[in-house]
Structure 1
Protein backbone atom coordinates (compact mmCIF):
# COMPACT_ATOMS: atom_id res chain seq x y z
CA UNK A 1 0.00 0.00 0.00
CA UNK A 2 2.68 2.52 1.06
CA UNK A 3 4.98 1.44 -1.78
CA UNK A 4 2.25 1.87 -4.39
CA UNK A 5 1.38 5.27 -2.96
CA UNK A 6 4.99 6.38 -3.31
CA UNK A 7 5.38 4.75 -6.73
CA UNK A 8 2.51 6.70 -8.28
CA UNK A 9 2.03 9.74 -6.02
CA UNK A 10 5.60 10.90 -5.35
CA UNK A 11 6.09 12.74 -8.65
CA UNK A 12 2.68 14.50 -8.53
CA UNK A 13 3.38 15.44 -4.89
CA UNK A 14 6.54 17.31 -5.86
CA UNK A 15 5.64 18.53 -9.34
CA UNK A 16 2.11 19.67 -8.52
CA UNK A 17 2.02 19.82 -4.73
CA UNK A 18 5.33 21.49 -3.82
CA UNK A 19 5.60 23.62 -6.96
CA UNK A 20 1.91 24.49 -6.85
CA UNK A 21 2.12 25.55 -3.22
CA UNK A 22 5.15 27.69 -3.97
CA UNK A 23 3.46 29.40 -6.90
CA UNK A 24 0.30 30.03 -4.86
CA UNK A 25 2.25 31.47 -1.93
CA UNK A 26 4.31 33.81 -4.10
CA UNK A 27 1.20 34.94 -5.99
CA UNK A 28 -0.48 35.70 -2.64
CA UNK A 29 2.46 37.86 -1.56
CA UNK A 30 3.65 35.51 1.20
CA UNK A 31 7.17 35.66 2.59
CA UNK A 32 9.79 34.03 0.36
CA UNK A 33 10.89 32.04 3.42
CA UNK A 34 7.95 29.78 2.67
CA UNK A 35 9.76 28.72 -0.49
CA UNK A 36 12.74 27.67 1.60
CA UNK A 37 10.40 25.65 3.84
CA UNK A 38 8.91 23.97 0.77
CA UNK A 39 12.38 23.13 -0.53
CA UNK A 40 13.28 21.52 2.81
CA UNK A 41 10.01 19.55 2.62
CA UNK A 42 10.87 18.42 -0.93
CA UNK A 43 14.34 17.26 0.16
CA UNK A 44 12.79 15.41 3.11
CA UNK A 45 10.27 13.71 0.82
CA UNK A 46 13.10 12.78 -1.53
CA UNK A 47 15.15 11.08 1.16
CA UNK A 48 12.10 9.33 2.66
CA UNK A 49 10.85 7.96 -0.67
CA UNK A 50 14.33 6.73 -1.61
CA UNK A 51 14.50 4.70 1.58
CA UNK A 52 10.98 3.31 1.40
CA UNK A 53 11.00 2.50 -2.33
CA UNK A 54 14.59 2.57 -3.66
CA UNK A 55 15.52 1.89 -7.26
CA UNK A 56 18.79 0.47 -5.92
CA UNK A 57 19.17 -0.06 -2.19
CA UNK A 58 22.95 0.42 -2.26
CA UNK A 59 22.57 3.93 -3.69
CA UNK A 60 21.10 5.00 -0.36
CA UNK A 61 24.39 4.27 1.41
CA UNK A 62 27.01 7.06 1.36
CA UNK A 63 30.29 6.02 -0.23
CA UNK A 64 32.46 8.76 1.19
CA UNK A 65 30.38 11.31 -0.70
CA UNK A 66 27.74 12.39 1.81
CA UNK A 67 29.58 15.47 3.11
CA UNK A 68 30.70 16.42 -0.38
CA UNK A 69 27.18 16.27 -1.78
CA UNK A 70 25.83 18.29 1.13
CA UNK A 71 28.49 20.95 0.51
CA UNK A 72 27.59 21.09 -3.19
CA UNK A 73 23.89 21.43 -2.33
CA UNK A 74 24.41 24.18 0.24
CA UNK A 75 26.74 26.23 -1.96
CA UNK A 76 24.67 25.87 -5.12
CA UNK A 77 21.35 26.59 -3.43
CA UNK A 78 22.89 29.65 -1.78
CA UNK A 79 24.04 30.84 -5.20
CA UNK A 80 20.52 30.33 -6.56
CA UNK A 81 19.04 32.36 -3.71
CA UNK A 82 21.65 35.08 -4.21
CA UNK A 83 21.01 35.24 -7.94
CA UNK A 84 17.29 35.62 -7.31
CA UNK A 85 17.98 38.49 -4.91
CA UNK A 86 20.01 40.32 -7.57
CA UNK A 87 17.33 40.05 -10.25
CA UNK A 88 15.84 43.54 -9.66
CA UNK A 89 19.30 45.10 -10.09
CA UNK A 90 20.14 42.96 -13.12
CA UNK A 91 16.76 43.62 -14.71
CA UNK A 92 17.30 47.36 -14.35
CA UNK A 93 20.66 47.03 -16.11
CA UNK A 94 19.89 44.58 -18.92
CA UNK A 95 16.15 44.87 -19.68
CA UNK A 96 15.89 46.02 -23.28
CA UNK A 97 12.10 46.21 -23.41
CA UNK A 98 9.54 45.20 -20.79
CA UNK A 99 7.71 42.67 -22.93
CA UNK A 100 6.86 40.38 -20.03
CA UNK A 101 3.14 39.38 -20.00
CA UNK A 102 2.39 40.86 -16.55
CA UNK A 103 -1.35 40.53 -17.20
CA UNK A 104 -1.24 36.74 -17.47
CA UNK A 105 -2.32 34.61 -14.51
CA UNK A 106 0.75 34.12 -12.32
CA UNK A 107 0.90 30.35 -12.87
CA UNK A 108 1.14 30.86 -16.64
CA UNK A 109 3.92 33.38 -16.18
CA UNK A 110 5.88 30.75 -14.25
CA UNK A 111 5.18 28.12 -16.92
CA UNK A 112 6.49 30.53 -19.58
CA UNK A 113 9.67 31.06 -17.54
CA UNK A 114 10.06 27.29 -17.09
CA UNK A 115 9.77 26.74 -20.85
CA UNK A 116 12.40 29.39 -21.59
CA UNK A 117 14.81 28.05 -18.96
CA UNK A 118 14.27 24.52 -20.25
CA UNK A 119 15.45 25.57 -23.70
CA UNK A 120 18.44 27.62 -22.50
CA UNK A 121 19.78 25.04 -20.05
CA UNK A 122 19.24 22.18 -22.49
CA UNK A 123 21.38 23.91 -25.12
CA UNK A 124 24.15 24.69 -22.60
CA UNK A 125 23.98 21.14 -21.28
CA UNK A 126 24.30 19.80 -24.83
CA UNK A 127 27.26 22.11 -25.50
CA UNK A 128 28.87 20.99 -22.24
CA UNK A 129 29.31 17.52 -23.71
CA UNK A 130 30.83 18.87 -26.92
CA UNK A 131 33.06 21.79 -25.87
CA UNK A 132 36.16 20.93 -23.88
CA UNK A 133 36.14 24.03 -21.67
CA UNK A 134 32.53 23.45 -20.60
CA UNK A 135 33.03 19.71 -20.14
CA UNK A 136 35.80 20.31 -17.61
CA UNK A 137 33.31 22.00 -15.28
CA UNK A 138 30.34 19.80 -16.12
CA UNK A 139 32.41 16.66 -15.43
CA UNK A 140 31.99 17.27 -11.69
CA UNK A 141 28.33 16.36 -12.07
CA UNK A 142 29.12 13.21 -14.05
CA UNK A 143 31.66 11.90 -11.56
CA UNK A 144 28.96 10.45 -9.30
CA UNK A 145 28.94 6.70 -8.62
CA UNK A 146 25.47 6.48 -7.12
CA UNK A 147 22.34 8.08 -8.47
CA UNK A 148 20.12 9.78 -5.90
CA UNK A 149 18.22 13.04 -5.38
CA UNK A 150 21.07 15.17 -4.07
CA UNK A 151 23.10 14.43 -7.24
CA UNK A 152 21.02 17.03 -9.01
CA UNK A 153 22.47 19.74 -6.78
CA UNK A 154 26.03 18.45 -7.23
CA UNK A 155 27.46 20.86 -9.79
CA UNK A 156 30.56 22.96 -10.10
CA UNK A 157 29.42 26.52 -9.25
CA UNK A 158 31.02 27.83 -12.45
CA UNK A 159 28.95 25.46 -14.57
CA UNK A 160 25.80 26.18 -12.60
CA UNK A 161 26.36 29.89 -13.19
CA UNK A 162 26.78 29.32 -16.93
CA UNK A 163 23.59 27.24 -17.10
CA UNK A 164 21.66 29.74 -15.00
CA UNK A 165 22.82 32.64 -17.13
CA UNK A 166 21.80 30.88 -20.35
CA UNK A 167 18.38 30.13 -18.95
CA UNK A 168 17.57 33.39 -17.20
CA UNK A 169 19.39 36.10 -19.20
CA UNK A 170 16.88 36.09 -22.09
CA UNK A 171 14.08 36.47 -19.53
CA UNK A 172 15.80 39.43 -17.88
CA UNK A 173 16.09 41.14 -21.24
CA UNK A 174 12.29 41.13 -21.54
CA UNK A 175 11.59 42.13 -17.92
CA UNK A 176 11.36 38.98 -15.79
CA UNK A 177 9.55 39.87 -12.50
CA UNK A 178 11.29 38.94 -9.27
CA UNK A 179 8.25 36.99 -8.02
CA UNK A 180 8.30 34.77 -11.10
CA UNK A 181 12.04 34.24 -10.58
CA UNK A 182 11.39 33.21 -6.98
CA UNK A 183 8.87 30.55 -7.98
CA UNK A 184 11.17 29.47 -10.81
CA UNK A 185 14.02 28.87 -8.35
CA UNK A 186 11.89 26.38 -6.41
CA UNK A 187 10.84 24.52 -9.57
CA UNK A 188 14.49 24.09 -10.61
CA UNK A 189 15.45 22.54 -7.26
CA UNK A 190 12.40 20.24 -7.26
CA UNK A 191 13.12 19.14 -10.82
CA UNK A 192 16.73 18.25 -10.01
CA UNK A 193 15.58 16.15 -7.04
CA UNK A 194 13.10 14.25 -9.23
CA UNK A 195 15.50 13.88 -12.14
CA UNK A 196 18.19 12.18 -10.05
CA UNK A 197 15.92 10.38 -7.59
CA UNK A 198 16.73 6.88 -6.39
CA UNK A 199 12.99 6.31 -5.94
CA UNK A 200 11.49 3.58 -8.12
CA UNK A 201 8.53 5.73 -9.13
CA UNK A 202 6.31 5.47 -12.23
CA UNK A 203 4.95 8.23 -14.47
CA UNK A 204 3.55 6.25 -17.42
CA UNK A 205 3.36 8.09 -20.74
CA UNK A 206 4.66 11.28 -19.09
CA UNK A 207 8.08 9.60 -19.20
CA UNK A 208 8.12 10.30 -22.93
CA UNK A 209 7.84 14.04 -22.31
CA UNK A 210 9.20 14.89 -18.85
CA UNK A 211 12.90 14.72 -17.98
CA UNK A 212 12.75 12.39 -14.95
CA UNK A 213 14.98 9.73 -13.43
CA UNK A 214 14.15 6.93 -15.88
CA UNK A 215 15.46 8.93 -18.83
CA UNK A 216 18.17 10.83 -17.00
CA UNK A 217 19.96 7.63 -15.94
CA UNK A 218 20.80 7.15 -19.62
CA UNK A 219 22.44 10.56 -19.58
CA UNK A 220 24.79 9.41 -16.83
CA UNK A 221 26.01 6.29 -18.66
CA UNK A 222 29.78 6.55 -18.59
CA UNK A 223 30.76 5.29 -22.04
CA UNK A 224 31.40 7.97 -24.62
CA UNK A 225 28.52 8.79 -26.92
CA UNK A 226 26.07 6.61 -24.97
CA UNK A 227 25.50 9.19 -22.26
CA UNK A 228 25.14 12.02 -24.75
CA UNK A 229 21.35 11.83 -24.60
CA UNK A 230 18.42 13.32 -22.66
CA UNK A 231 19.91 16.73 -21.90
CA UNK A 232 16.62 18.41 -20.96
CA UNK A 233 16.12 19.96 -17.53
CA UNK A 234 12.32 19.93 -17.37
CA UNK A 235 11.28 18.15 -20.56
CA UNK A 236 12.63 15.94 -23.34
CA UNK A 237 11.01 18.05 -26.05
CA UNK A 238 14.25 19.67 -27.16
CA UNK A 239 16.07 16.32 -27.09
CA UNK A 240 13.61 15.01 -29.66
CA UNK A 241 14.43 17.99 -31.88
CA UNK A 242 18.19 17.57 -31.31
CA UNK A 243 18.00 13.83 -32.00
CA UNK A 244 19.35 13.07 -28.52
CA UNK A 245 16.25 11.41 -27.05
CA UNK A 246 16.49 7.92 -25.56
CA UNK A 247 14.08 5.82 -23.49
CA UNK A 248 13.98 2.16 -22.52
CA UNK A 249 11.91 1.44 -19.42
CA UNK A 250 13.30 -2.11 -19.19
CA UNK A 251 16.93 -0.99 -18.81
CA UNK A 252 18.36 -1.41 -15.29
CA UNK A 253 21.42 0.47 -14.03
CA UNK A 254 24.14 -0.16 -11.45
CA UNK A 255 27.04 1.92 -10.18
CA UNK A 256 29.24 0.24 -12.79
CA UNK A 257 27.23 1.94 -15.52
CA UNK A 258 27.63 5.54 -14.40
CA UNK A 259 30.57 7.89 -13.93
CA UNK A 260 33.35 9.05 -16.28
CA UNK A 261 35.08 6.21 -18.11
CA UNK A 262 37.98 8.44 -19.14
CA UNK A 263 38.48 9.62 -15.57
CA UNK A 264 37.63 6.67 -13.28
CA UNK A 265 39.54 8.18 -10.34
CA UNK A 266 38.00 11.63 -10.50
CA UNK A 267 38.61 13.48 -7.20
CA UNK A 268 35.97 12.72 -4.60
CA UNK A 269 36.41 15.62 -2.15
CA UNK A 270 34.50 18.87 -2.48
CA UNK A 271 37.47 21.25 -2.68
CA UNK A 272 39.35 18.86 -4.97
CA UNK A 273 36.37 18.82 -7.33
CA UNK A 274 36.25 22.60 -7.38
CA UNK A 275 39.93 22.69 -8.33
CA UNK A 276 39.94 19.86 -10.88
CA UNK A 277 38.73 21.86 -13.93
CA UNK A 278 41.61 24.33 -13.43
CA UNK A 279 44.33 21.69 -13.43
CA UNK A 280 46.79 21.51 -16.32
CA UNK A 281 45.39 19.84 -19.39
CA UNK A 282 48.02 17.12 -19.42
CA UNK A 283 47.42 16.27 -15.79
CA UNK A 284 43.72 15.83 -16.44
CA UNK A 285 44.36 13.40 -19.25
CA UNK A 286 47.13 11.40 -17.58
CA UNK A 287 46.61 7.81 -16.55
CA UNK A 288 43.15 7.31 -18.02
CA UNK A 289 42.96 3.62 -18.85
CA UNK A 290 39.55 4.03 -20.48
CA UNK A 291 40.69 6.52 -23.10
CA UNK A 292 40.46 4.07 -25.98
CA UNK A 293 36.87 3.11 -25.25
CA UNK A 294 35.71 6.61 -24.32
CA UNK A 295 37.42 8.70 -26.95
CA UNK A 296 34.79 11.37 -27.34
CA UNK A 297 34.74 12.43 -23.71
CA UNK A 298 38.52 12.16 -23.55
CA UNK A 299 38.76 14.41 -26.58
CA UNK A 300 36.39 16.85 -24.93
CA UNK A 301 38.50 16.68 -21.78
CA UNK A 302 41.71 17.52 -23.60
CA UNK A 303 40.35 19.95 -26.14
CA UNK A 304 40.42 23.66 -25.39
CA UNK A 305 37.44 25.50 -26.77
CA UNK A 306 38.25 27.74 -29.71
CA UNK A 307 35.07 29.73 -29.14
Structure 2
Protein backbone atom coordinates (compact mmCIF):
# COMPACT_ATOMS: atom_id res chain seq x y z
CA UNK A 1 0.00 0.00 0.00
CA UNK A 2 2.88 2.39 0.63
CA UNK A 3 3.85 2.11 -3.03
CA UNK A 4 0.30 2.19 -4.36
CA UNK A 5 -1.12 4.93 -2.16
CA UNK A 6 0.02 8.09 -3.97
CA UNK A 7 -0.66 7.03 -7.59
CA UNK A 8 -3.95 5.35 -6.64
CA UNK A 9 -5.12 8.42 -4.72
CA UNK A 10 -4.03 10.88 -7.44
CA UNK A 11 -5.20 9.05 -10.54
CA UNK A 12 -8.21 7.45 -8.84
CA UNK A 13 -9.86 10.66 -7.69
CA UNK A 14 -8.86 12.78 -10.68
CA UNK A 15 -9.99 9.99 -13.00
CA UNK A 16 -13.33 9.82 -11.18
CA UNK A 17 -13.72 13.60 -11.48
CA UNK A 18 -12.96 13.46 -15.20
CA UNK A 19 -15.53 10.71 -15.69
CA UNK A 20 -18.29 12.55 -13.80
CA UNK A 21 -17.73 15.87 -15.56
CA UNK A 22 -17.35 14.14 -18.92
CA UNK A 23 -20.72 12.44 -18.37
CA UNK A 24 -22.36 15.80 -17.80
CA UNK A 25 -22.74 15.57 -14.02
CA UNK A 26 -22.97 18.97 -12.32
CA UNK A 27 -19.67 20.58 -11.36
CA UNK A 28 -21.02 20.62 -7.79
CA UNK A 29 -20.04 16.95 -7.63
CA UNK A 30 -16.39 18.02 -7.31
CA UNK A 31 -16.63 19.87 -3.97
CA UNK A 32 -18.98 17.08 -2.84
CA UNK A 33 -16.13 14.60 -3.39
CA UNK A 34 -13.64 16.54 -1.24
CA UNK A 35 -14.87 15.27 2.16
CA UNK A 36 -14.31 11.70 0.94
CA UNK A 37 -10.77 12.52 -0.21
CA UNK A 38 -9.98 14.15 3.15
CA UNK A 39 -11.43 11.19 5.08
CA UNK A 40 -9.36 8.66 3.11
CA UNK A 41 -6.23 10.81 3.49
CA UNK A 42 -6.71 10.95 7.27
CA UNK A 43 -7.33 7.21 7.50
CA UNK A 44 -4.17 6.46 5.51
CA UNK A 45 -2.16 8.73 7.81
CA UNK A 46 -3.43 6.75 10.80
CA UNK A 47 -2.61 3.36 9.25
CA UNK A 48 0.74 4.21 7.65
CA UNK A 49 2.14 7.34 9.32
CA UNK A 50 5.49 8.79 8.34
CA UNK A 51 5.78 10.34 11.80
CA UNK A 52 3.29 9.23 14.46
CA UNK A 53 3.66 12.53 16.31
CA UNK A 54 2.45 14.46 13.27
CA UNK A 55 -0.94 12.78 13.66
CA UNK A 56 -1.39 14.49 17.02
CA UNK A 57 -2.77 18.01 17.17
CA UNK A 58 -0.27 20.80 17.80
CA UNK A 59 -3.10 23.16 18.68
CA UNK A 60 -3.50 23.78 14.96
CA UNK A 61 -6.59 21.82 13.93
CA UNK A 62 -9.16 24.63 14.16
CA UNK A 63 -6.73 27.07 12.56
CA UNK A 64 -6.04 24.76 9.62
CA UNK A 65 -9.78 24.24 9.15
CA UNK A 66 -10.29 28.03 9.06
CA UNK A 67 -7.52 28.41 6.46
CA UNK A 68 -8.96 25.57 4.37
CA UNK A 69 -12.50 26.93 4.42
CA UNK A 70 -11.36 30.47 3.55
CA UNK A 71 -9.05 29.40 0.74
CA UNK A 72 -11.40 26.83 -0.77
CA UNK A 73 -14.13 29.49 -0.73
CA UNK A 74 -11.79 31.79 -2.65
CA UNK A 75 -11.14 28.99 -5.14
CA UNK A 76 -14.86 28.33 -5.60
CA UNK A 77 -15.61 32.03 -6.10
CA UNK A 78 -12.80 32.25 -8.65
CA UNK A 79 -14.23 29.35 -10.65
CA UNK A 80 -17.76 30.75 -10.46
CA UNK A 81 -16.47 34.11 -11.73
CA UNK A 82 -14.85 32.67 -14.88
CA UNK A 83 -17.93 33.17 -17.12
CA UNK A 84 -18.22 36.75 -15.87
CA UNK A 85 -14.52 37.44 -16.40
CA UNK A 86 -14.78 36.08 -19.92
CA UNK A 87 -17.24 38.89 -20.73
CA UNK A 88 -14.82 41.73 -19.96
CA UNK A 89 -11.36 40.21 -19.80
CA UNK A 90 -9.50 40.01 -23.12
CA UNK A 91 -8.80 36.44 -24.20
CA UNK A 92 -7.60 34.87 -27.38
CA UNK A 93 -9.84 31.81 -27.78
CA UNK A 94 -6.75 29.64 -28.21
CA UNK A 95 -7.82 26.92 -25.81
CA UNK A 96 -7.99 23.49 -27.53
CA UNK A 97 -11.65 22.82 -26.77
CA UNK A 98 -11.73 19.97 -29.30
CA UNK A 99 -9.20 17.94 -27.30
CA UNK A 100 -10.41 15.14 -25.01
CA UNK A 101 -11.20 16.45 -21.54
CA UNK A 102 -8.29 14.55 -19.98
CA UNK A 103 -5.79 16.18 -22.35
CA UNK A 104 -7.29 19.59 -21.68
CA UNK A 105 -6.83 19.01 -17.96
CA UNK A 106 -3.24 17.89 -18.50
CA UNK A 107 -2.51 21.06 -20.47
CA UNK A 108 -4.10 23.16 -17.70
CA UNK A 109 -2.03 21.34 -15.06
CA UNK A 110 1.24 22.01 -16.90
CA UNK A 111 0.51 25.69 -17.52
CA UNK A 112 -0.87 26.39 -14.05
CA UNK A 113 1.90 24.45 -12.33
CA UNK A 114 4.60 26.48 -14.03
CA UNK A 115 2.93 29.73 -12.98
CA UNK A 116 2.39 28.61 -9.38
CA UNK A 117 5.95 27.26 -9.17
CA UNK A 118 7.44 30.58 -10.31
CA UNK A 119 5.35 32.56 -7.80
CA UNK A 120 6.41 30.09 -5.11
CA UNK A 121 10.05 30.41 -6.12
CA UNK A 122 9.81 34.21 -6.05
CA UNK A 123 8.22 34.03 -2.60
CA UNK A 124 11.48 32.63 -1.24
CA UNK A 125 13.50 35.38 -2.92
CA UNK A 126 11.39 38.46 -2.19
CA UNK A 127 11.20 39.67 1.42
CA UNK A 128 7.74 41.13 0.79
CA UNK A 129 6.33 37.92 -0.69
CA UNK A 130 8.03 35.85 2.01
CA UNK A 131 6.13 37.70 4.73
CA UNK A 132 2.91 36.41 3.17
CA UNK A 133 4.26 32.97 2.33
CA UNK A 134 5.74 32.44 5.80
CA UNK A 135 2.26 31.64 7.11
CA UNK A 136 2.40 28.37 5.19
CA UNK A 137 5.92 27.57 6.39
CA UNK A 138 5.02 28.05 10.03
CA UNK A 139 3.60 24.52 10.18
CA UNK A 140 5.48 22.28 12.60
CA UNK A 141 3.98 19.03 11.37
CA UNK A 142 2.84 17.80 7.99
CA UNK A 143 -0.51 16.19 7.41
CA UNK A 144 -2.81 16.38 4.43
CA UNK A 145 -5.07 19.14 5.64
CA UNK A 146 -2.42 21.81 6.14
CA UNK A 147 -1.70 22.07 2.44
CA UNK A 148 -4.38 24.77 2.35
CA UNK A 149 -2.85 26.65 5.29
CA UNK A 150 -1.95 29.80 3.36
CA UNK A 151 -2.44 33.50 3.82
CA UNK A 152 -5.38 34.42 1.54
CA UNK A 153 -3.33 37.16 -0.14
CA UNK A 154 -0.59 34.70 -1.01
CA UNK A 155 -3.18 32.16 -2.09
CA UNK A 156 -4.56 34.82 -4.45
CA UNK A 157 -1.11 35.60 -5.88
CA UNK A 158 -0.41 31.91 -6.54
CA UNK A 159 -3.86 31.50 -8.08
CA UNK A 160 -3.25 34.45 -10.40
CA UNK A 161 0.15 33.08 -11.39
CA UNK A 162 -1.41 29.74 -12.26
CA UNK A 163 -4.73 30.73 -13.80
CA UNK A 164 -4.16 34.09 -15.52
CA UNK A 165 -2.46 32.42 -18.54
CA UNK A 166 -5.35 29.95 -18.72
CA UNK A 167 -7.93 32.73 -18.64
CA UNK A 168 -6.12 34.57 -21.42
CA UNK A 169 -6.22 31.38 -23.49
CA UNK A 170 -9.97 31.03 -22.86
CA UNK A 171 -10.05 27.96 -20.59
CA UNK A 172 -13.58 26.53 -20.18
CA UNK A 173 -15.11 26.60 -16.71
CA UNK A 174 -15.27 22.78 -16.65
CA UNK A 175 -11.50 22.51 -17.07
CA UNK A 176 -10.92 25.21 -14.45
CA UNK A 177 -13.13 23.33 -11.98
CA UNK A 178 -11.24 20.09 -12.64
CA UNK A 179 -7.96 21.95 -12.16
CA UNK A 180 -9.11 23.28 -8.78
CA UNK A 181 -10.14 19.77 -7.75
CA UNK A 182 -6.78 18.35 -8.88
CA UNK A 183 -4.97 21.01 -6.85
CA UNK A 184 -6.89 19.97 -3.73
CA UNK A 185 -5.93 16.33 -4.36
CA UNK A 186 -2.30 17.26 -4.92
CA UNK A 187 -2.12 19.36 -1.74
CA UNK A 188 -3.42 16.40 0.25
CA UNK A 189 -0.64 14.24 -1.22
CA UNK A 190 2.12 16.87 -0.97
CA UNK A 191 1.58 17.46 2.73
CA UNK A 192 0.59 13.93 3.61
CA UNK A 193 1.86 12.18 6.72
CA UNK A 194 1.61 8.83 4.93
CA UNK A 195 4.89 6.91 4.75
CA UNK A 196 4.49 6.62 1.00
CA UNK A 197 7.06 5.19 -1.41
CA UNK A 198 7.04 6.85 -4.82
CA UNK A 199 10.14 5.37 -6.46
CA UNK A 200 10.80 6.63 -9.99
CA UNK A 201 7.59 8.67 -9.91
CA UNK A 202 9.58 11.27 -7.97
CA UNK A 203 11.01 12.31 -11.33
CA UNK A 204 7.52 13.41 -12.38
CA UNK A 205 5.35 14.13 -9.33
CA UNK A 206 6.11 16.47 -6.43
CA UNK A 207 4.56 14.31 -3.71
CA UNK A 208 5.28 14.27 0.02
CA UNK A 209 8.75 12.60 0.04
CA UNK A 210 10.00 15.60 -1.96
CA UNK A 211 7.84 18.36 -0.53
CA UNK A 212 8.65 17.57 3.11
CA UNK A 213 12.19 18.75 2.39
CA UNK A 214 10.78 22.11 1.31
CA UNK A 215 9.46 22.60 4.85
CA UNK A 216 12.80 22.10 6.62
CA UNK A 217 13.27 24.86 9.18
CA UNK A 218 17.03 25.27 8.75
CA UNK A 219 17.59 28.54 6.91
CA UNK A 220 17.88 28.08 3.16
CA UNK A 221 17.94 24.27 3.38
CA UNK A 222 14.24 24.33 2.49
CA UNK A 223 14.66 26.48 -0.63
CA UNK A 224 14.10 23.39 -2.76
CA UNK A 225 11.27 21.46 -4.43
CA UNK A 226 9.03 24.43 -5.22
CA UNK A 227 6.77 22.69 -7.74
CA UNK A 228 3.14 22.01 -6.97
CA UNK A 229 2.48 19.12 -9.37
CA UNK A 230 5.51 18.24 -11.47
CA UNK A 231 8.98 17.85 -10.00
CA UNK A 232 10.73 18.40 -13.35
CA UNK A 233 10.20 22.17 -12.97
CA UNK A 234 12.63 22.04 -10.03
CA UNK A 235 15.22 20.28 -12.13
CA UNK A 236 14.92 23.10 -14.66
CA UNK A 237 15.24 25.67 -11.85
CA UNK A 238 18.16 23.80 -10.27
CA UNK A 239 16.22 23.44 -6.99
CA UNK A 240 15.45 19.70 -6.98
CA UNK A 241 16.43 17.73 -3.87
CA UNK A 242 15.84 14.12 -2.88
CA UNK A 243 17.26 12.61 0.31
CA UNK A 244 16.15 8.97 0.40
CA UNK A 245 18.41 8.13 3.35
CA UNK A 246 17.37 11.01 5.62
CA UNK A 247 14.38 10.42 7.88
CA UNK A 248 12.90 13.74 8.99
CA UNK A 249 12.58 14.19 12.74
CA UNK A 250 9.28 15.34 14.21
CA UNK A 251 10.78 18.76 15.00
CA UNK A 252 12.50 19.38 11.63
CA UNK A 253 9.72 21.60 10.28
CA UNK A 254 8.77 25.24 10.71
CA UNK A 255 10.61 28.56 10.47
CA UNK A 256 13.88 28.12 12.32
CA UNK A 257 14.46 31.79 13.10
CA UNK A 258 10.82 32.41 14.05
CA UNK A 259 9.98 29.88 16.77
CA UNK A 260 7.52 32.48 18.07
CA UNK A 261 5.48 32.60 14.87
CA UNK A 262 1.80 32.97 15.87
CA UNK A 263 -0.42 29.91 15.73
CA UNK A 264 -3.94 31.39 15.85
CA UNK A 265 -5.72 32.05 12.55
CA UNK A 266 -6.40 35.78 12.92
CA UNK A 267 -2.91 36.37 14.31
CA UNK A 268 -1.46 34.69 11.22
CA UNK A 269 -3.52 36.93 8.94
CA UNK A 270 -2.07 39.99 10.69
CA UNK A 271 1.49 38.73 11.04
CA UNK A 272 2.82 39.77 7.57
CA UNK A 273 1.97 43.40 8.37
CA UNK A 274 3.67 43.55 11.77
CA UNK A 275 7.14 44.89 12.45
CA UNK A 276 9.56 42.82 14.56
CA UNK A 277 12.49 44.42 16.32
CA UNK A 278 13.97 41.24 17.75
CA UNK A 279 15.78 38.57 15.75
CA UNK A 280 16.18 34.93 16.66
CA UNK A 281 19.24 32.85 15.80
CA UNK A 282 18.59 30.35 13.02
CA UNK A 283 17.94 26.73 13.93
CA UNK A 284 21.10 24.63 13.93
CA UNK A 285 21.34 22.14 11.08
CA UNK A 286 21.39 18.57 12.53
CA UNK A 287 24.62 16.64 11.77
CA UNK A 288 22.68 13.84 10.04
CA UNK A 289 21.00 16.30 7.69
CA UNK A 290 24.28 18.11 7.03
CA UNK A 291 25.88 14.83 6.00
CA UNK A 292 22.89 13.93 3.80
CA UNK A 293 23.06 17.30 2.03
CA UNK A 294 26.79 16.95 1.42
CA UNK A 295 26.43 13.44 0.06
TM-score by length of 1: 0.90
Give the Cα–Cα distance (whole angstroms) in 1 for the partners of residues 154 and 217 of structure 2: 19
Q: Is the 8 A contact 1:26 1:32 kept in 2?
A: yes
Q: Is the 8 A contact 2:146 2:191 kept in 1?
A: yes
Matched, 1:267 2:262: yes
Matched, 1:175 2:166: no
Give the Cα–Cα distance (whole angstroms) in 2 for the partners of residues 25 and 157 of structure 1: 30
TM-score by length of 2: 0.94
**1:289 counterpart (275, 280, 283):** 280
**1:158 counterpart (142, 150, 153):** 153
Matched, 1:112 2:107: yes
The CA deviation string for residues 2-34 of structure 1, in whole angstroms up to 9 with x for no partner, is xxx3x1232123211111111111122101221
The CA deviation string for residues 37-77 of structure 1, in whole angstroms up to 9 with x for no partner, is 22111111110000011000010000111110111111111
SS in 2 for 1:110: helix
**2:205 counterpart (203, 207, 210):** 210
Give the Cα–Cα distance (whole angstroms) in 1 for the partners of residues 11 and 231 of structure 2: 19
* 2:289 equivalent in structure 1: none
Shift of 1:95: 3.3
Shift of 1:176: 0.7
* 1:78 equivalent in structure 2: 73
Shift of 1:250: 1.6
Q: 1:90-109 counterparts in 2 under 5 A?
A: 90-109=85-104
Q: 1:199-278 counterparts in 2 under 5 A?
A: 199-278=194-273
Shift of 1:106: 0.7
The CA deviation string for residues 251-297 of structure 1, in whole angstroms up to 9 with x for no partner, is 111232111112111000000000101113xx2xx333225979xxx
Q: Is the 8 A contact 1:208 1:247 kept in 2?
A: no
Matched, 1:23 2:14: no
Q: 1:121-200 counterparts in 2 under 5 A?
A: 121-200=116-195
* 2:6 equivalent in structure 1: 11
Q: Is the 8 A contact 1:191 1:233 kept in 2?
A: yes
Equivalent pairs, count: 285
Q: Is the 8 A contact 1:69 1:154 kept in 2?
A: yes
Show structure 2 runs of 5+ residues with no match. 286-295
Give the Cα–Cα distance (whole angstroms) in 1 for the partners of residues 265 and 127 of structure 2: 22
